[in-house]
Amino acid sequence: MKKKQPRNQNQSKMQDKESSSLKLGDMLNQDIMSQLRQKQKELNDAEQEKKAAEEEKKREERKRREKNKSFEELLGESNLNWKNYK
């Protein structure tokens, strides 16, 4: 047979569940939360700037490669069928 748990233990378990449902934001004061949000925004902005710089660098690299291609490479990449123009 199971022994019944005293009411005090049941009540303490319920209180533990209620206290565990608190969020981090509830425990921290608003000052710290605003600082964390600001830092997150700064990190996101820095990441976006880094991505934009990488894209610009890739674009410049493609331009440079295209500029330095030989006639043979340009002809090979052409979709035209040159036999039709003989």
* pLDDT digit string, tens, across residues 10-28: 566 656 555 556 676 666 6
pLDDT at 84 over 80: no
Calculate the CA dihedral of residues 67, 65, 55, 53 and round it to 10 degrees. -80
pLDDT for residue 52: 97
74 is written with which tokens?
């340009």
Higher pLDDT, 28 or 4: 28
